Amino acid sequence: MSIAPEIPRVTLYTYAMSPYASKVHCFLLYKRVPFECFYINPFRVREDLPVGRQIPVVTIDGESRADSTPIGLWLDERFPDQLRLLPESGAERDELLKIDGWISDCLIPSSFRYFPGDGLNKWLNGWKLSSVMAKTAQGGLPLALRLAWPYFVQRVTFVRRLLEIADDGLPLRESKDKIYRQFISRLEGGPFLLGRRAPSLPDLAAYPQFALFYMTGFRGSMDILDYPELMSWLTRMAPFVSGAPPLVPPVVRTREMPLPSDDKAEAGAAR
């Protein structure tokens, strides 16, 4: 009698709007690994997170790892028969990891500045963030805290650290233009980053940094529409990060990302 192989139980501990956790969410969707999301309540991190104090954490059959990029490398090790996030070795792997480094150390800190943004947007996007948290985090958030969120979030230590990194001395719109063009230059004219024909770890790390804010309706998120190369790449990426659980839960989704007109053909061609 043959025994069917056990499917490992995979859990992603996340916040719906965490740029780092959403990287890992896209890794799992791309690899088509079945998983579930545990949306942490920011006031229960110590109690509910299996290791450490930072989101994301992934648990596979009781073994837990933190930190988005090391989690990606671990997923390739643990699920070698699924699509790979990176080539096993070689110069291309190193170059792709360098781009991921730029995403983690430059694009993501900048997102913490661009969303909320300046002036009135700081408040409106701050409330948007607390509303998404309240609708997704286990146990929700008390109303008083939701109202104070735009003030409170800017004072959280790790957010302050990221905002310092993001401060390039430029006005917000110019800074965004610079960073978006730097991203486009890393496509090297190709369908995917580094001019590759298929997505890899940094494509999956970058996708949510544009899509999350757009799909949840943050003010300023529609600026991506001014960059045709960026929009074409986002459109090509969409079929690779479809699936369940969705990157943006329906309860907080206000817009859809564009899909290729013939998405199956495009996804098939690139694989």
Ligand X SMILES: N[C@@H](CCC(=O)N[C@@H](CS)C(=O)NCC(=O)O)C(=O)O
Number of residues that bind ligand X (CB under 6 A): 11
For ligand X, which stretch binds (CB under 6 A), given 1-9, 18-26, 163-171, 226-234? 18-26
Nearer to ligand X, 42 or 268 (CB): 42
Residues 31-60 that bind ligand X (CB under 6 A): 53-56
Residues 193-252 that bind ligand X (CB under 6 A): none
Nearer to ligand X, 53 or 197 (CB): 53
How many other CB atoms are found less than 10 A from the CB of residue 108?
A: 23
Q: In Å, how far from its chain's centre is CA 155? A: 22
Mask 87-116, x = binds ligand X (CB under 6 A)? -----------------x------------
For ligand X, which stretch binds (CB under 6 A), given 16-24, 133-141, 191-199, 263-271? 16-24
The answer to the question of residue 179 lying near ligand X (CB under 6 A) is no
Selected binder of ligand X within 41, 50, 67, 194 (CB under 6 A): 67
Q: Interface with ligand X by CB under 6 A: which residues?
A: 18-20, 53-56, 67-68, 104, 158
